[in-house]
Amino acid sequence: MSVKEVPVMKAWTIRIKSGPNAGRWVGGHFGGGLVTNPEVQNNPPVNVTGSTKYGLWAQQAAATRFFEGGLKEAIDELTKLGYDPTSLDILKVQG
C-alpha cells in the first residue's frame, strides 16, 4: 500500500515591527465586551484605525493565521490603512 502525500497549507502571522504598535500581532478586530484574561486586561488590543477587520494584540496567541491567498490580501489592506509593508514582520507558523 502506498502512502499518498497530502499537501500541507502554509500559514503565517503578521507582527508590527516598527512604529507606535511595534511588537503587536495582527489579529481580529476587538469589539469590546467582558475581558477576563488578566494578560489582555493589562495590555488590551488596539484596533487598526479605519478597519473593522483587524486589531493589534500584544498576545501572540491572538494572532490571526493567514493562509497563502489571505496573506497577500491582509498585507494589501494593511498597506492601504497606512502601514508600510517593510514595518510588517511576516512569520511562518511552524507545525
Q: Could you tell me what percent of the chain has a pLDDT over 70?
A: 96
The dihedral built from the CA positions of residue 86, 75, 89 and 31, taken in this order, carries a sign that is: positive
Among the ranges given (5-14, 37-46, 62-71), the one the predictor scored with the smallest mean pLDDT: 5-14
In order of 2, 43, 66, the CA distances from 73 in angstroms are 38, 27, 9
Average pLDDT score, the chain: 91
Question: What does the domain layout of the chain look like in residue ranges?
Answer: 11-23+42-92
As a dihedral over the C-alpha atoms of residue 27, residue 29, residue 36, residue 21, rounded to 10 degrees, the angle is 60
pLDDT digits (tens, 9 = 90+) for 9-21: 899 999 999 999 9
pTM above 0.75, yes or no: yes
Q: What's the pLDDT band for 47 if we cut at 50, 70, 90?
A: very high
